[in-house]
Amino acid sequence: MTIVGNLMKQILNKHGILCWWADIPKCAPSLRNKSLMLVGIDVYHAKKRFLDKQNVYVQRRSIGAFIAVLIQETGGYRTSCHIYEVEARQELLCKADSESDTSSVKSQDSGKSSAAPTILEGPEITQKNTLQDFIVRSCKEHEMTPAQIIVYRDGVGDSQLEAVRTTEVLQAKNAVREAKLIYTVVQKRIHTRFFVRKSDGMVGNPAPGTIVDKDLGSEDYPDFYLIPTKCSLSTVKPVHYIIMHNDNFVPLKELQALTYAMCHVYPNWTDSIKLPFPTQLAHKLAFLMGESQITKPEIHKDLFKTYFYL
């Protein structure tokens, strides 16, 4: 019965019906009786492969994924998804100034000639205003105009923050001009660690849900750290949230509580995960389509409003 129950959950989830969700007004009382759109963004960078005959490295184009979760005033959850191709090693909508800016791309040069050139594949046509078009399309699909939009953007390094602010933030703002916007960059590959001293004098990991937002020394953008999961075998890794744009419709404490709650809603896991679930969904979709060997991957319109990629 356990297996049957899990299969039933997967079938429901893949059709767009979440088996568990968060109580938004409890996490963020200022959002009570207001429609909300959560947007998750991530990019999958394919690994390089070496062609012996041509003596070159080839890296396939990268795949960017958008996930929208529209939460109605009544608490119902709806979803939309979209992907598009970008040149290899490039982050979504943001052009890296140098190869060092794309640290998420792993090198596979071991055992091969380091002098071999690298061919970066890319799409035939580079799309523009993709994030703006996706948000507009999602609103039309569900016949809903959100009063607030919160974006969780993964995969952006410190050197790319300004590029995100001048491109993606602007597109999200222009998509629904009357909506209030919070645009947050999520960084999980960081070296920062936190410890707490227990009553017995020993040092241990902070409890799940711990927020660190004071004396961070940040000058450019407000930020905070969140401990989303429990770790008993090693040092727990916090997640860094950098707020690129904030229309101040949600107090910071409520945004932090909402973010932590969203780490518990991912359909494939009954406990909390490291990222807010729209971002994890985007990661899952980008990986699935990026690993696909299809020359031009695309999503059929009948699947736009489902979690088919779980």
Chain segment 19-46, per-residue pLDDT in tens: 888 999 999 999 999 999 999 999 998 8
CA distances from 188 to 122, 164, 227 (A): 27, 17, 11
In this predicted model, what pLDDT tens digit does every residue of 83-107 receive, in sequence order? 988 877 777 554 434 333 433 444 4
Q: Which domains does the chain have, with CATH numbers?
A: 2-43+67-82+125-303 (3.30.420.10)
- Which CA distances in Å does 182 have to 36, 40, 148, 179, 277? 11, 12, 8, 10, 16
Pairing relationship of beta strands 148-154 and 180-187 according to DSSP bridges: parallel
pLDDT tens per residue, range 73-84 = 888 899 999 998
Q: What is the pLDDT of residue 105?
A: 41
The pLDDT tens digits of the residues spanning 148-181 come to 999 999 989 888 899 899 899 999 999 999 999 9
199: Cβ–Cβ under 8 A, 6 or more apart, which residues?
none
Among residues 215, 213, 151, which one has the least CA distance to residue 180? 151
Question: How many Cα neighbours within 13 Å face the side chain of 309?
Answer: 29
Count of CB atoms situated within 10 Å of the CB of 183? 25
pLDDT at position 99: 38
pTM: 0.88
Helix (H) or strand (E) holding 92: none
